């Protein structure tokens, strides 16, 4: 599909520019369909498979964009972030690809397999105590000592634009989607998705999906201010973080609603996709499909895009 040329505003031009900038460094991931899952849901589902993205998740898009928007002088000093999840690997790999030094702050309790993946992409790990205050103060310390630029995993406008390019590619290929659904963690993906849908000037509804156990975005949209989670007892380990002051206004403006799902629904949805589509998706991605299964009456005969956010799973510790 040709991109719509009407009603461009600044964020529209920005997302197109972002995609042009990063597209050589990322995969334009495949969009899969499944006859069986269409039958089960009664909808026409288009799975945008970011599990096939480089390093296994959409985070590669935002990390790449954030680094590419730095000046040459800034790039020489490197980048720093705090993450024990996909953004750690994403920033490490994007930095390696762009020949930039990356410092990744990880909690001392992070699984060895995650540390090894970051080291494998050539980044330097700095360990800290496993709490928010410790990692934020460590990030400031690294910034001041090295001059490296801090890149937040989700609350950074260039990261948000980058994440939106998954939706942009989806809408470039699939016309007239009635809705797009994606999981909500820190809010970068859904904010970017909302910006990309606006770019395409479509009437497509943007929906989020969250576990009940970490429904901070659901509650934030209800209350109108950023809410946090008292506990984070979910298998969707990518969705434990909260929204930020940069992505929340975009989400309030562009997201229709958040559908919440139970832990067992997440597991069932993940098993169904593994079994039937023969692809590995991570629990956070299964949250979006679980929401579709749960609310399938709303989606009957609709064209629905589902952003499969990633496929990084610790297979040795995954049991159905």
* Count of alpha carbons within 13 angstroms of residue 193, beta-carbon side: 30
User: Distance between CA 126 and CA 104 in Å, rounded?
Assistant: 6
* Nearest alpha carbon to residue 110 among 128, 91, 137: 128
Q: Judge contact between 128 and 58, C-beta under 8 A.
A: no
Give yes or no for residue 274 binding a second copy (CB under 8 A).
Answer: yes
Is residue 319 close enough to count as binding a second copy by CB under 8 A?
A: yes
Catalytic pick among 11, 48, 59, 97: 59
> Which one of 1, 30, 111, 176 is in contact with a second copy (CB under 8 A)?
30
With CB under 8 A as the contact rule, the residue among 126, 226, 246, 279 that binds a second copy is 279
132 binds a second copy (CB under 8 A): no
- Least Å distance, CB 192 to a second copy, is 22
Binders of a second copy among residues 283 to 312 (CB under 8 A) are: 311
257, β-bridge pairs: 207
Report whether 102 contacts 91 (CB < 8 A): yes
Catalytic residue flag (residue 228):
no
Q: Is the Cβ of residue 29 or residue 229 nearer to a second copy in the bound state?
A: 29
Spell out the residues 6+ positions from residue 35 whose beta carbon is closer than 8 angstroms to its own. Answer: none
Q: Does 320 bind a second copy (CB under 8 A)?
A: yes
Known catalytic residue: 59? yes
Site membership for a second copy, residue 212 (CB under 8 A): no
CB 104, CB 94: distance < 8 Å: no
| Interacting residue ranges for a second copy, rule: CB under 8 A | 30, 51-52, 56, 271, 274-275, 278-281, 311, 315-316, 319-320
List residues with catalytic annotation: 59, 84
């Amino acid at each position: 599909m040709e991109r719509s040329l009407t009603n461009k505003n600044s964020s529209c031009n920005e997302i197109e520019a972002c995609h042009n900038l990063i597209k050589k460094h990322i995969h334009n991931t495949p969009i899969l369909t499944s006859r069986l899952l269409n039958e089960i849901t009664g909808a026409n589902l288009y799975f945008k498979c970011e599990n096939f993205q480089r390093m296994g998740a959409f985070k590669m898009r935002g990390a790449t964009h954030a680094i590419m928007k730095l000046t040459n002088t800034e790039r020489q000093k490197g980048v720093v972030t705090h993450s024990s999840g996909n953004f750690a690997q994403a920033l490490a790999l994007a930095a390696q690809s762009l020949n930039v030094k990356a410092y990744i702050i990880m909690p001392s309790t992070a699984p060895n397999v995650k540390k090894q993946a970051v080291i494998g992409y050539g980044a330097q790990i700095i360990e800290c105590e496993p709490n928010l205050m410790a990692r934020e103060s460590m990030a400031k310390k690294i910034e001041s000592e090295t001059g490296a630029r801090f890149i937040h995993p989700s609350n950074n406008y260039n990261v948000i634009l980058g994440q939106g390019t998954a939706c942009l590619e989806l809408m470039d290929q699939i016309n007239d989607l009635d809705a797009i659904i994606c999981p909500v963690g820190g809010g970068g993906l859904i904010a970017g998705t909302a910006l990309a849908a606006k770019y395409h000037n479509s009437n497509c509804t943007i929906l989020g999906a969250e576990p009940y156990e970490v429904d901070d975005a659901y509650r934030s949209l209800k209350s109108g201010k950023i809410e946090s989670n008292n506990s984070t007892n979910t298998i969707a380990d990518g969705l434990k973080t909260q929204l930020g002051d940069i992505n929340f206004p975009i989400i309030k403006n562009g997201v229709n609603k958040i559908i919440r799902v139970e832990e067992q629904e997440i597991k069932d949805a993940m098993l169904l996709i593994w079994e039937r589509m023969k692809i590995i998706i991570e629990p956070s991605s299964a949250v979006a499909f679980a929401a579709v299964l749960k609310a399938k009456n709303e989606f009957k005969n609709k064209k629905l895009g589902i952003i499969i956010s990633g496929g990084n799973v610790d297979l040795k510790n995954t049991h159905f």
